[in-house]
Amino acid sequence: MTANPITVPPEATVEETARLFLRHRIGCVPVVGAEGGVIGLVTERDLFLRERRVPFSTVVAHSLMGAWVDPEHLEECYGRLRGIRVSEIMRRDFVTISPETPMYEAALLMVRFETNHLPVVEGGRLVGILARHDLLRALARPCEPWDAASPGRAGEDTPPSPS
């Protein structure tokens, strides 16, 4: 888990958010309201061109941030979309976990909801974010005897020290 993750307010622009992704080498930013609660998520994937089925049709077309686009005019589209507020494109349907959520449960949620990031919330406020990268970090830890009393929690952000 990354404690105190980088966040954006709902009025941040897509351009500002893209710069944060690049500067901090992250793939997701929680959108946080005035009270500190998570009101949305913006992922790097949300800013890329996608193929989607046109509703009630077998036609597949390209979309960018929810708008249908011609891929040949992608650069022009990006120019127009830079000033859009993240509140207009953020995902509002996301799953959160608590710092006490066991790691296996978090991994299952990531699979079930096809997400790579889970905001960690305590008392209605964002305290961290668990990313797929954090699960890899757990996999890369030195092997230690398994302890059923300590199955690993989402809130653990440092590996145990070797004995």
Across the chain, which has 163 residues, the per-10-residue mean pLDDT values are: 94 91 93 93 76 61 55 64 85 94 92 93 94 83 55 51 42
Residue 158 maps to a domain: no
Domain around 20: 2-140
Looking at residue 163, what is its pLDDT? Answer: 42
- Check: pTM over 0.75? Answer yes or no: no
Residue 88 maps to a domain: yes
| Angle (CA) 154 159 163, round 5° | 140
Residue 152 maps to a domain: no
CATH of the domain at 65: 3.10.580.10
- What domain count does the chain have? 1
